[in-house]
Structure 1
């Protein structure tokens, strides 16, 4: 990670740092401490920083923004030394401030490419809907209906922001979950196919090979043997 950059990851991602990686700050929190899905109305980060950022990107920030982040991190360090009944509330408040700062940077990145606030909100909601429904809804029309727009319009909005097509985003989420289940569970491939909403294992295998260039069984064998 270069200087003056950040990335956001979930339990679906991992970050491997080089041995010569310069010092960095990491804020780690769980659902019990602060659930970004349940509190999306407070920070509006879902679909921008989390969920929809499965292939996460490294975003850069300005010197002024860097100073703000350093101040927030400094407040975190100081607050961890405080022992009183409102400490948790203070830490949650600092976390929300940090997330809002980062979300603004994520939104501005899309806006600078080509996107209005309304378009960015459509992208955000689409990403979140995919996260919630990818196991049962695999058609672009399903998500366009939920968003109240035409499938063509959804495709145009994503294209204007230089993002993947709606179908590719849906498929990428399915493939990501398939990889997770293949690597971190002992479930048979047929059971994984059923869990991901496929009527036939051949459909699942065909889609997996299209994106991964090998069958689910080959992927599992290759990764677990390393």
Structure 2
């Protein structure tokens, strides 16, 4: 489905979660006609088995099983109609994450600060049983009767799961050529830090000491996306967060993200998100945001 088609789906807002935390189990769930969900909480989908696909910020990923999908607050997602999903859906807010020990903060940053680079993680056979068991325990704990310090116990399990997924991600990273992957990670870190200052591929390539063509080759081999697509994805994700979670005027957001004018920002946003900034924000006003 193209971005244009993507934009015609209705948008619904995430349901508010008690204690900003939830774990659900989808038992061979068949997805009917659906709408895009704008998420207010970070999401981890552990897909054990499945068919169909999931659409995240305009990109469609096939579902095959034994895989994770990681979504960051502010992203839009929908399962494709007719998809069949067997697995777990874990949702948590930043305020719940604060219950987890600070030592796990770097794992959350690696996985969710630039979710587009970690959106889909296959789960190797050797990791299956351990991670599945952790989700089984967390789900059983979540659905059990409340008790004193239950939230602290859930936060501790979440910390362990996050560390294990971060380690899985690191293992997948090491499977690539180490020099190219190092360049890619440096590029991603630089984009996360400097996307408000420059949007130019050439500027990032110069910082890394490589040509724009080399940077393009590295990005496509490591993520199947070009560097401009990655930069634009970061800008769109941040713009969506501003529009959804703040009341800042569009012109202020435009200058904050280093666009030369509100018109340039509006044209960019409509091209990549399928609606104008004001139309996007109005969707959330209609549903009570």
Distance across 1 between alignment mates of 2:166 and 2:240: 31
Q: What is the root-mean-square deviation in Å for CA atoms of aligned residues?
A: 4.0
- The alpha carbon displacement at 1:199 in A equals 2.4
Corresponding position of 1:156: 217
Q: Mark the CA change 1:34 to 1:162 in structure 2 (over 3 Å): closer, same or farther.
A: same
Cα deviation digits, residues 33-74 of structure 1 (max 9, x gap):
4568974xxx6983xx43433376333324431113245558
Q: CA deviation at 1:139?
A: 1.0
What is the deviation of 1:162? 5.4
Alpha-carbon shift at residue 21 of structure 1 (Å): 5.6
Task: Tell whether the 8 Å contact from 1:4 to 1:61 is kept in structure 2 after alignment.
Answer: yes
Distance 1:37 1:152, change over 3 A: farther
Name the structure 1 match of 2:245. 184
Distance 1:37 1:138 in 2: 31
Please state if 1:218 is matched with 2:279: yes
1:97 and 1:55 map into 2 onto residues whose CA distance is: 17
Alpha carbons of structure 1 residues 102 and 12: separation in structure 2 relative to 1, 3 Å: farther
**Partner Cα separation in structure 2 for residue 118 and residue 159 of structure 1:** 15
Q: What is the CA-CA distance between 1:224 and the residue it aligns to?
A: 3.2
Q: 2:88 aligns with which of 24, 42, 47?
A: 24
Which stretch of the first structure deviates more once superposed, 144-153 or 127-136? 144-153
Question: Could you say which structure has the higher helix fraction?
Answer: 1
With the length of structure 2 as denominator, give the TM-score of the two structures.
0.57
- Structure 1: give runs of 5+ residues left out of the alignment: none
State yes or no: 1:50 paired with 2:116. no
Q: Secondary structure at the residue paired with 1:135?
A: coil
1:84-123 to structure 2, matched below 5 A, reads 94=160, 97-104=163-170, 106-107=172-173, 111=175, 115-123=176-184
Which of 128, 136, 147 matches 1:66? 128
Give the Cα separation in 2 of the matches to 1:37 and 1:153. Answer: 34
Q: Are the counterparts in 1 of residues 195 and 231 from structure 2 also a CA contact under 8 Å?
A: yes
CA offset digits 1:86-144 (Å, max 9, x no partner): x9xx8798457413432145426xx5xxx412212222221222112111121112222
C-alpha contact 2:121 2:169 (8 A) present in aligned 1:
no
- Whether contact under 8 Å (2:104, 2:162) holds in the other structure is no
Higher strand share: 2
Which residues of structure 2 form unaligned runs of 5+? 1-46, 51-64, 140-146
User: 1:214: Cα distance to partner?
Assistant: 2.8
TM-score, length-normalised on structure 1? 0.70
Q: Is the 8 A contact 2:74 2:240 kept in 1?
A: no
